[in-house]
Amino acid sequence: MPEREIIKDVLRDSGMEIPDLDECVDTFIVNAKFVGLLRTIGGAETLVTVEHVLEELPDGEGWPSQRSKAPASMPAPAVVRKISEDSATRSDWERVCFYITPIGSEDSVERKHADLFMGSLVQPALEELGLTVVRADHIGEPGMITTQVLEYLKRSRLAIADLSYLNPNVFYEVALRHALRLPVVQLIRKADRLPFDVNQARTLVFDTSDIYSLVPKLQTYRAEIASQARKALDDPESVGNPVSVFYPDFYK
């Protein structure tokens, strides 16, 4: 699959009026993966033809037997709406995304994981949304770290929660965001089993089993984070909040 900038250049040259090229590319990547047109082949993400996908489908199961035709009902594309860019009226907190993640001690596998996900996935995905990613160990203000974390949990416009390694501090902080009814996007390593308490919320699953599985999918993973972040900002409960789903009277 071409790099993002190449896709954006093609769209610019097409003459079509597209208000947000980043949003357009993210939506295309997420939907292409969803319908099976974007696959990892030979260690690289590759777009395959609709005909190729249809040839793999058995007859019946709601798909037409004539392979040369498009399916009668394709899955609905993801609905992604643009966030207001009126930054002049926003407070500093409106530009902050708090990254909830297991940090661990220096040189630990958790710290390496947090650094990799933050630098290679979360930060690039949220740049186009105008959000600055902040992690607990990067808060440069003096004071009790717990107090500062609570402040960021309460005031940040968005939170990205990495549930990898099933860290109890992470789940505690996610619960606070849920109780406050604030937008949070969950992600987790494929190697970890998502606990029942939070599996009602949509969670992005990333394969980090080895570098050959991770690197070819970085662009897709970034697009999935950006797309889910837009949805969460537009409607926090659209990505799932167990508190509001199972206890709707909790906020009354």
Three-state SS sequence of 86-141: CHHHCCHHHHEEEEECCCCCCCCHHHHHHHHHHHHHHHHHHHCCCCEEEEHHHCCC
Compute CA 91 distance to the chain's CA centroid, rounded to the nearest angstrom: 24
Specify the pLDDT at position 36.
76
Residue 45: phi and psi, rounded to 5, are: -75, 125
Compute the distance between CA of residue 234 and CA of residue 221 in angstroms, rounded to an integer: 20
All domains of the chain, ordered by start, with CATH? 1-79 (no CATH), 91-251 (3.40.50.450)
Specify the pLDDT at position 85.
34
In tens digits, what is the pLDDT along the chain, a chain of 252 residues? 667 677 776 777 777 777 777 777 778 887 777 677 776 654 456 776 766 666 666 654 444 434 334 333 333 333 333 333 333 334 689 999 999 999 999 899 999 999 999 999 999 999 989 999 999 998 876 777 789 999 999 999 999 999 999 999 999 999 999 988 899 999 999 999 988 878 778 899 999 999 988 999 999 999 999 999 999 999 877 666 777 666 666 656
Q: Using alpha carbons only, give the angle 248, 249, 250 rounded to the nearest 5 degrees.
A: 90
Specify the pLDDT at position 204.
96
Specify the pLDDT at position 165.
96
Specify the pLDDT at position 154.
95
What Å distances lie between residue 100 and 64, 132, 166, CA to CA? 45, 14, 12
Q: Where are the beta strands (DSSP E) in 192-237?
A: 203-206
